[in-house]
Amino acid sequence: MGTRLLRNAHSLRVLSRSYTTTISSPRHLLSIADLTPHELTTLVLSAHTHKSHVDPLPTQPLRGQTLALLFTKRSTRTRVSTEAALARLGAHPLFLSPGDIQLNVNETLRDTSTVISSMTSGIVARVDAHADVEEMAKWSSVPVLNALSDLAHPLQIIADFLTLYEVFGSSKQPSSTTAPSLGLEGLRLAWIGDTNNVLYDLALASTKLGCHLSIATPPGYTLPPRILEALHATTSSNLPTHTHDPLAALDHADVILTDTWISMGAESEKSRRLREFAGFQVTEELARKGGARNGWKFMHCLPRHAEEVNDEVFYGERSLVFPEAANRLWAAIAAVEGFVVRRGVLG
């Protein structure tokens, strides 16, 4: 069975960082670590509200404003969902790729962030290194939303928990003494595959929302110390478990999740990784042998490759993949509204 992930966390940096401390400093969303359990719940419920009450003539609080989409990595779901979300909120999305601007040619990230933020109401950044989005946030005068980095993918996780809420959750209206809840406490999630940015934020969200997460990876694949530190700062109980046996992680699983085994930039490692991940493909047989619950569901943030999950599961009745992808729109609306319109005052 799995062993607790936090035993090796010492005096390491927490993922959520402090930036400038002036009164006018914007609030940024760089990781799920930046959110309290109440704030994460609020964002998911906000996404659900927007989805449930689609107005053909929506209020557009960002009408006449521009948000920059600074993407150094190609994208399908993130770009489409973000541009559609901004259009729905009335904003003009300004897409900036490395070929469009001077960044890393003869201009620093500090200077780029300072200039772009002086002309826009927010920055949505999809980058390689998490340090880059942190540097942008440090010098930006407007909110920065992380649309993907190597350590975090908060917009994906908001969409994932919206999907889980729709299938497994129940809305508990708060009284004067209780906070809103998604009703997902005790839900058992099993991650089968690589350790990556989606898993890191999934682990943080699971601990905040009371879900149990079991992680199965091949030997040698572990969570970075910085993520362990962030988990340790979140809770001292309900911590994820980690095993190298996928069957052990699947015991009583309600939801099985995976992602690509070969992320962008790691294509040269494909042959080695395929050997190391042998036996980790999600199938009905694997779930049955591992003891997953009869009604288990499957999630994948896409793009998918056949070695990660077979067609029977991916296209079958257990799959939540395409509703999960569609929910990226509502997650983006909730995040932009929460951090750009409401300036990070959530709930």
CATH of residue 304's domain is 3.40.50.1370
Q: What is the number of structural domains in the chain?
A: 2
Eight-class DSSP state of 170: -
Tens place of pLDDT for every residue, the chain, 347 residues?
444 444 434 333 445 444 443 446 899 999 999 999 999 999 999 999 999 987 766 789 999 999 999 999 999 999 999 999 999 999 999 999 988 988 867 889 999 999 999 999 999 999 999 999 999 999 999 999 999 999 999 999 999 999 999 999 985 555 555 778 999 999 999 999 999 999 999 999 999 999 999 999 999 999 999 999 999 998 768 999 999 999 999 999 999 999 999 876 677 888 999 999 999 999 999 999 999 999 999 999 999 999 999 999 999 999 999 999 999 999 999 999 999 999 999 97
Same domain, yes or no, for 50 and 141?
A: yes
Q: Is the bond preceding 143 in cis, omega lying within 30 degrees of 0?
A: no
Tokens at 138, concatenated: 């440090």
Tokens at 346, concatenated: 């959530």
Give the burial class of 9: count Cβ atoms within 10 A of its Cβ; 0-12 exposed, 13-18 middle, 19 or more buried: middle
| Verdict on whether the full-model pTM lies above 0.85 | yes
Same domain, yes or no, for 42 and 176?
A: no
Residue 7 lies in a domain: no
Contact 160, 206 (CB under 8 A): no
Same domain, yes or no, for 187 and 85?
A: no
Contact 299, 257 (CB under 8 A): yes
* Residue with token string 């601007």: 101
Q: What b/e readout covers 152-170, taking b as 16+ CB neighbours within 10 angstroms? A: bbbbbbbbbbbbbbbbbbe
Rounded to a whole number, what is the largest CA-CA distance in the chain?
57
What pLDDT does 268 receive? 82
107 lies in which domain range?
19-153+328-341
Same domain, yes or no, for 187 and 144?
A: no
What pLDDT does 105 receive? 73
What pLDDT does 5 receive? 46
Name residue 118's amino acid. S
Same domain, yes or no, for 99 and 228?
A: no
Could you give the residue numbers annotated as active site? 301
Same domain, yes or no, for 180 and 277?
A: yes
